[in-house]
Amino acid sequence: MDSTRTQAPQRFAIRRKMTLMTKEYVVTAARPDGSEGEIVAFAHQKRITLKERTTFYTDETRKQILCTFEARQVLDPETVYDVRDTAGQTIGSFHNDPDASLFRSTWTMRQPGTMDLTGRERNRLVAGVRRIWDWLPFTDFVPFLWPHHFDFTENKLLLMTVDKKLGLRSRYLLGIHAPDLDHRLAIAQAIALDALDEV
């Protein structure tokens, strides 16, 4: 599947696969009820690397690359991640805002020349409970099960949403409300929320 077919759907279902040495995600065009439809991307990230990098393929055969995202710096929590197409051209970028994320996880996502979005956890209460949960000593092996969601806005206009589904597995519904937003950038940002351990 090429990038033009990835661009068509407005909602995507994202599911993390259970693997030991890698983080892998299946991205499909979401059906009206939010269930998985046709696969549009497959993301693969090695767990132990100095420089975070995730490769997106057109399907699980991993024969054709769709895009990548990669950290600009090594082992830097404030680094910017660049999303590039198969030719190495920049599609956009995103990064976590550590100061704003003290209370609610906050991200900035940029698509050059078109939009500059801010993504925040939707519910302040859930965000606060998650912060407390992370500090408790016995929760290292107990996942935070309550769903939490992100809204990405520009000038208070909602342009993208990432909703986590209830359950033990990492499953998300990505909604895109901006016709000019490159879906590869949106998918990369949505997966980064999980792959970079922010949700």
CATH number for the domain spanning 92: value is 3.20.90.10
Most confidently modeled of 17-21, 30-34, 97-101?
A: 30-34
pLDDT by residue (tens digit) across 61-115? 999 999 999 999 887 778 999 999 999 999 999 999 988 777 888 999 999 999 9
Whole-angstrom distance, CA of residue 177 vs CA of residue 64 = 27
| Domain count of the fold of the chain | 1
Q: Is residue 186 a contact partner of residue 175, using CB atoms and an 8 Å limit?
A: no
* Model pLDDT, residue 3: 59
Rounded-to-integer distance, Cα 100 and Cα 109, Å:
14
Q: Are 189 and 119 in contact (CB under 8 A)?
A: yes
State pLDDT tens for residues 110-151. 999 999 999 999 877 666 666 666 666 665 555 555 567 899
CA atoms within 13 A on the CB side of 131: 13
Domain limits at 91? 3-195
